[in-house]
Copies of this chain bind each other. A is one copy, B any other.
Amino acid sequence: MTIRYPVAPPTLADVAERAGVSRQTVSNAINNPDLLRADTLARVQEAIEELGYSPNRAARNLRTRSSHLIGLKFQPAQEGTANAAMDRFVHSLVETAGGAGYHILLFAVGEDEDHLRGYDDLLRATAVDAFIVTDTYLGNPQAAWLRQRRAPFVSFGRPWDDDAADHPWVDVDGAAGVDLATTHLLDRGHQRIAWIGWHKDSRIGEDRRSGWTRAMHGRNLSTTGLASRTEDTVSSGHDAAAVLLDEAQPSAFVCASDTLAMGVLHTLRDRGLTPGHDVSVIGFDDSQVAQVINPGLTSVRQPLEEVAVEIVRALEGLLSTPAVVSPGVLLTPTLAVRETG
């Protein structure tokens, strides 16, 4: 704590001299402490402490051909939507990765230029050890490209339709989450529960939807006429709810996102219906919006902290012993129950 910069930081050789041992021994003290006798180790650690030594990252990276950096393409929440899972996820990730000795490197790729360019540069420059890929939507070329490049990566999201995929992945069981929400409503006596989701080409959307049909059919209830597929915007949710209310008279809505659920709430407000009393509404993502509105929006909450833990675990396996083939991990969301459902 008494060192002033910008004097040259101490090197491993400085520590060795101070502790009266060799460079090799200091290196071992740091990387293979169990090779040293207890008293020697203590002496070296003391010298490290006194000098405020910390191994130079660049030198270490050069020699070991690894950076202990994980690349993550940062995708912010879209304006005008309620979905903000990234924020919570990134935080959990940074914390967990930090515990494992890794840091998160953010990068962006411009909209116009080649989307893979960013990955390529970082990879070739050995700037990162691995990537975390977050959007595995249909036709997303990232995963295929990374695999072909033999770049280590873990994806948050299943390789939906890519049967050649053999990379580790972690995902949240959206169907189970929606099933949970639907069952919660069924247990409260609802029979006519509507679904508002995304277009058919969204695998995530179809997965979530299947949780609704599963729960409904499990109670021998029909789902015909009770589903709507639309864009992920508030106004789309608003319109879809209006149509469903007119044509199918549902007593509750389960939505693929909090954004859509907000649209439903607006429709209820238009018609003087009280959410949670006249009509129940459940969203998906447990966004800040769900938490601060009144009445509070019941919503499916993804276990993002666990996702981060599993992703880091997978990364460690991937980077330490390449033989370990970690399959996918599927986590189950919970339901944050509030007033609307």
> Which A positions have Cβ atoms within 8 angstroms of B?
1-6, 9, 52-59, 61-62, 64-67, 69, 74-77, 79-82, 84, 86-88, 90-91, 94-95, 98, 103-108, 110, 118, 120-121, 123-127, 129-130, 148-152, 234, 259, 262, 265-266, 269, 287-289, 291-294, 319-320, 322
Output the residue of A3, A66, A126, A127 with the most chain B CB within 10 A: A3
Query: CB distance B288 to A266 under 8 Å?
Result: no
Residue from B54, B65, B105, B292 within 8 A of A124 (CB atoms): B54
Are B74 and A121 neighbours in the complex by a CB distance under 8 Å?
A: no
Are B291 and A288 touching (Cβ within 8 A)?
A: no
Known: A2-B65, A66-B2, A150-B5. Is A294-B269 also a contact (CB below 8 A)?
Answer: yes
Pair A94/B107 contact, Cβ less than 8 Å: yes
Taking CB atoms, residues of chain B closer than 8 Å to A58 are 58-59, 61-62, 65, 67, 126
> How far, in whole Å, are A258 and B65 apart by their CA atoms in the complex?
47
Interface hub of A61, A80, A121 (most chain B Cβ within 10 A)? A61
Cross-chain contact B87 with A86 (CB below 8 angstroms): yes
Contact A292 B81 (CB under 8 A): yes
- Closest residue of chain B to A148, judged by CB? B4
Given contacts A2-B65, A259-B292, 4 further A-B contacts (CB under 8 A): A58-B61, A77-B288, A266-B294, A269-B294
Contact A95–B108 (Cβ < 8 Å): yes
**Chain B residues within 8 Å of A104, by CB:** 105-107
